[in-house]
Amino acid sequence: MSTGPTPTTPPSTSAMPVTSNPNTDADAKATVASCPCNHLRYSLLSKPLIIHCCHCLSCQSETGSAFVLNALYLASSVVPLSPTTSPLLINTPSASGKGQVIARCPRCFVAVWSNYAGGGRATRFVRVGAVEKEVKSMDPGAWAPDVHIYVRSKVPWLAIPEGAEVYERFYDVEEVWGRERCVRRADAREKIKKAREEETTEAEGAGVQDARQ
Ligand SMILES: [Zn+2]
Ligand SMILES: [Zn+2]
């Protein structure tokens, strides 16, 4: 029996007025992330909370490359620009063993963002490669990784810059996000935690229902 990726039902999405989003950074330029065929497009309403360069074997396998660059946002800051187009949400294994849901374009099937189990539905790990080239070309250095993770499986020919923040596996979220001058991350952490608690409560409620069937 095949154990390949399993599509799940996309959640309903609706566009929200850009001006009402509390996560908008006043100084953030309008940033668009899209798949190569341009069918699946999102507006990114804030700066990334953190950019991960992940060297894990799962990311290498998914991308067909040596690593992936993921920019983490609150889900409320990643707004569909074509609300009638839903991504394919594909359950996929991850390095933690907890899995992830990868959102892919329904036409070209390229990944634009994903949810990892740890962050839950309140987050979006947007592929930095999906950020439009016009935006990246304005300030290429702005999309450099804040941390390198899972370097235990980094390819040997790749040299990480001196002074970069490097972790054998994943980092301690409370420690890294709780640092001084990381107020945005600390605020986001609270929102993500609250959303995760609500998801857990929902799952427990669903479990009770299942047990009664
Ligand atoms: Zn596409
Ligand atoms: Zn990875």
Give the domain range for residue 87.
25-212
CATH number of domain containing 41: 2.170.150.70
Residue that wins the pLDDT comparison between 117 and 178: 178
In the chain, the number of structural domains is: 1
Residue 48 lies inside a defined structural domain of this protein: yes
Please determine, for residue 213, whether its predicted confidence score (pLDDT) is greater than 80.
Answer: no
- How confident is the model at residue 203, as a pLDDT? 67
Residue 45 lies inside a defined structural domain of this protein: yes
- How confident is the model at residue 29, as a pLDDT? 57
Residue 73 Cα to ligand 2 midpoint, Å, equals 17
Residue 5 lies inside a defined structural domain of this protein: no
77, 175, 185 from 13: Cα distances, Å? 13, 33, 25
Residue 169 Cα to ligand 2 midpoint, Å, equals 9
Strand partners, 124: 73
Ligand at minimal distance from the CA of 109 is 1
Q: What is the pLDDT of residues 84-109, one digit of tens each?
A: 889 999 998 887 788 889 999 999 99
Is there a contact between 130 and 36 (Cβ–Cβ < 8 Å)?
A: no
Residue 87 lies inside a defined structural domain of this protein: yes
Please determine, for residue 7, whether its predicted confidence score (pLDDT) is greater than 60.
Answer: no
Residue 94 Cα to ligand 1 midpoint, Å, equals 23
Residue 157 lies inside a defined structural domain of this protein: yes
Residue 113 Cα to ligand 2 midpoint, Å, equals 13
Residue 140 Cα to ligand 2 midpoint, Å, equals 22
3-state secondary structure of 95: coil
Residue 131 lies inside a defined structural domain of this protein: yes
3-state secondary structure of 102: strand
Residue 32 Cα to ligand 2 midpoint, Å, equals 23
Residue 136 Cα to ligand 2 midpoint, Å, equals 22
Please determine, for residue 120, whether its predicted confidence score (pLDDT) is greater than 80.
Answer: yes
pTM of the model: 0.80
Percent of the chain surpassing pLDDT 70: 81
Residue 198 lies inside a defined structural domain of this protein: yes
- Report the C-alpha dihedral over residues 179, 183, 185, 189, rounded to 10 degrees: 100
Residue 180 Cα to ligand 2 midpoint, Å, equals 27
Q: What's the mean pLDDT when you consider all of the chain?
A: 83
Residue 16 Cα to ligand 2 midpoint, Å, equals 31
- How confident is the model at residue 45, as a pLDDT? 94
Residue 34 lies inside a defined structural domain of this protein: yes
- How confident is the model at residue 198, as a pLDDT? 87
Q: What is the pLDDT of residues 10-64, one digit of tens each?
A: 444 443 333 334 444 544 557 999 999 999 999 999 999 999 999 999 999 999 9
